[in-house]
Copies of this chain bind each other. A is one copy, B any other.
Amino acid sequence: MKAVGVVVEYNPFHNGHLHHLTEARKQAKADVVIAVMSGYFLQRGEPAILPKWERTSLALQGGADLVVELPYAFSTQKAEWFATGAVSILAALEADALCFGSEEGTIEPFHRLYHFMAKHRLAWDRMIKEELDKGMSYPTATSLAFKRLEGSAEHLDLSRPNNILGFHYVKAIYDLHTSIKAMTIPRIKAGYHDDSLNESSIASATSIRKSLKTKEGWQMVDRVVPSYTTEMLKSFEKETTFLPSWERLFPLLKYRLLTATPEQLHAIYEGEEGLEYRALKTIVSATSFHDWMTKMKTKRYTWTRIQRYATHLFTNTTKEEIHSVLPRGTESLPYIRLLGMTSRGQMYLNGKKKQLTTPVITRPAKVDDRMMNLDLRAAFSYYASFPPSLQQKRLKEEFHRTPIRIDHKPEPKKEA
């Protein structure tokens, strides 16, 4: 059986994601689609709008055959580690291809850029350092260094977020010496950061989350997500009375910061002196997450960088923990957690069972591993803002829930 991988967050699952899943299967001529999906916290340093179980169900309904979890140690990271984690998992599951959406839309420029970068590595690193020393943020420094290499004109536009991620998938495929075939499809219409819904049936996840904050917004969301996404959002909100967000978690984050010592802050992953000092200084008067972020923002740090720091603060993830987990992760993953599957997905796993060297686990109960500890802590943190009875149910689930099973409806038979 042939498998194509996709790396996803589904925050929440929308028509663009559906298109991507369908095209990935088609273009790779794959029998199964493997979705590597972030758990509770996402790449831009945000809690997911729905728990991973709900998002797994949506992924299966949308056409994925296997949904496996991208561990926290990789999921809330800059593109390089995010991609390395995802590609490691796809390699361990022996996927034949990886298909990502990009602004570029064709794969050649990604390969060309990889080779160009490999050639100019040392000069590029030096230039980035120079720009950082001038006080630039990391993405700006990268982009400026790139321009100075005079590579920008003929190469991939690395100012586009999906091109950056795509480049790092391709780079990880090379660097990890896997035989995965990289493929890309053009993203359609909506830009990644657009925050208003337009008239078409495609909108970015960012704009969808924004629309979900108002009653009118929900109606617009209806047009740009599959019906099962709307139903899932509605039933989840009915159960909990809220959709998870930073604002919901902010009282806990504030409590954490108000009671932390400078030494404890310094131990947190992504912490550095400037950020720690600002965090302690700004938290006392911050009345909301957005208010705090606005007070935290400087030219030196991007919004995303600060949000990632906030996420690690929130989950109490230390430098020492991440550093003990990351290098090992790229050599041999300690486990792959299966969140959901169709019967086709199960067939694929059964066929591979004897040759896979990484354990595919269905529940964390018996795994004693530092990477898993971080995943559990992320879950605990995420559910800490839930009302007691729901929290109980969810925490139990986190330890004991078996993978979600959903089978795709057979396509309607053509009439004779």
Q: Interface of A with B (CB < 8 Å)?
A: 251-252, 254-256, 258-261, 264, 284-285, 287-288, 314-316, 318, 377, 380-381, 384-385, 388-389, 392, 395-396
- Whether B381 contacts A255 by the Cβ 8 Å rule is yes
A314 to B252, CA, bound (A): 12
- Whether A395 contacts B259 by the Cβ 8 Å rule is no
- Whether B384 contacts A254 by the Cβ 8 Å rule is yes
Shortest Cβ distance from A381 into B: residue: B259
What chain B residues lie within 8 Å of A381 (beta carbons)?
A: 255, 258-259
Given A260-B316, A261-B316, A316-B261: A287 in contact with B388 (beta carbons within 8 A): yes
- Whether B255 contacts A288 by the Cβ 8 Å rule is no
What chain B residues lie within 8 Å of A287 (beta carbons)?
A: 388-389, 392
- With A252-B255, A258-B377, A259-B377 given, name 12 new contacts (CB 8 A): A251-B385, A252-B252, A255-B381, A255-B384, A258-B384, A259-B380, A259-B381, A259-B384, A261-B316, A264-B316, A285-B396, A287-B388
Given A315-B259, A316-B260: A392 in contact with B251 (beta carbons within 8 A): no
A61 to B278, CA, bound (A): 42
- Whether A285 contacts B392 by the Cβ 8 Å rule is yes
Shortest Cβ distance from A380 into B: residue: B258
Give the 3 A-B CB pairs with smallest separation, nearest first: A258-B380, A255-B384, A259-B316
Q: How far is the CB of A120 from chain B (nearest CB, A)?
A: 42
What chain B residues lie within 8 Å of A385 (beta carbons)?
A: 251
What chain B residues lie within 8 Å of A380 (beta carbons)?
A: 258-259
Q: How far is the CB of A76 from chain B (nearest CB, A)?
A: 15
A154 to B358, CA, bound (A): 72
Q: How far is the CB of A315 from chain B (nearest CB, A)?
A: 6
What chain B residues lie within 8 Å of A388 (beta carbons)?
A: 251, 287-288
What chain B residues lie within 8 Å of A264 (beta carbons)?
A: 316
What chain B residues lie within 8 Å of A318 (beta carbons)?
A: 261
What chain B residues lie within 8 Å of A288 (beta carbons)?
A: 388
Given A377-B258, A392-B287: A384 in contact with B251 (beta carbons within 8 A): yes
Shortest Cβ distance from A249 into B: residue: B255
Most B-side CB within 10 Å, residue of A252, A255, A377, A392: A255
Q: List 7 A-B contacts (CB under 8 A).
A: A252-B255, A255-B255, A259-B315, A259-B381, A264-B316, A284-B395, A285-B392
Q: How far is the CB of A274 from chain B (nearest CB, A)?
A: 21
A181 to B258, CA, bound (A): 41
Most B-side CB within 10 Å, residue of A254, A258, A260: A258
Shortest Cβ distance from A261 into B: residue: B316
What chain B residues lie within 8 Å of A392 (beta carbons)?
A: 285, 287
